[in-house]
Amino acid sequence: MGRANVNVAGCDFSSHAIDVVLVDLDGRQPPRWHRYPLVGQDAFDRARSVADAMPGRSSVYWDNVLAVGIEHPAGRHGVGTLLRIQGAVLAQIPARMLVTPWTPSGWRKAVGLPGNATKNQVFGLSAKLELMESTRAVWTQDAHDAHLIALATRQAITTQEAA
């Protein structure tokens, strides 16, 4: 398989939107951010809208994607709603795809940040590594998270290939 068009996706989500950032496996192209807003009166309804919001598992969107890193929610405030969203997102990813769950501290550490890095530190590293100045202002914090999740996943793949 030629690698020029092979991507790794990073996925961050909330009960309001799914953010996916695609990074080129070889790092030759700038990252591409896609945001999929969820609709509904409450988190339950918005979870039901995931399949309508994002590309389905048979979509050409996934054709050049080798792997997906997805945030695995953790926290003191309960993660039930987020796990429902995560499950709906996972159902949209093709079964052939490599999928890696990342805890928030895990992906932060994988890209060289402290596990408890602040949102500003995440933004700063994401912007420094890949984003052009004009792009930075329009990306959401979740997009920056998804970007670093994609980079952590790419790093894991390339490290594994080298071994």
Q: Where are the domains of the chain?
A: 7-162
Q: Could you read off the pLDDT of 113-161 as tens digits, one per residue?
A: 989 998 889 888 888 776 554 455 578 899 999 999 999 999 999 887 6
Torsions phi, psi of 144, nearest 5? -65, -40
CA–CA separation, 29 and 41 (whole Å): 38
Q: Which CATH superfamily is domain 7-162 in?
A: Ribonuclease H-like superfamily/Ribonuclease H (3.30.420.10)
CA–CA separation, 5 and 8 (whole Å): 10
The first and second tokens of residue 33, run together, are 């951010």
CA–CA separation, 124 and 148 (whole Å): 11
Q: Could you read off the pLDDT of 71-96 as tens digits, one per residue?
A: 998 876 668 889 999 999 999 999 99
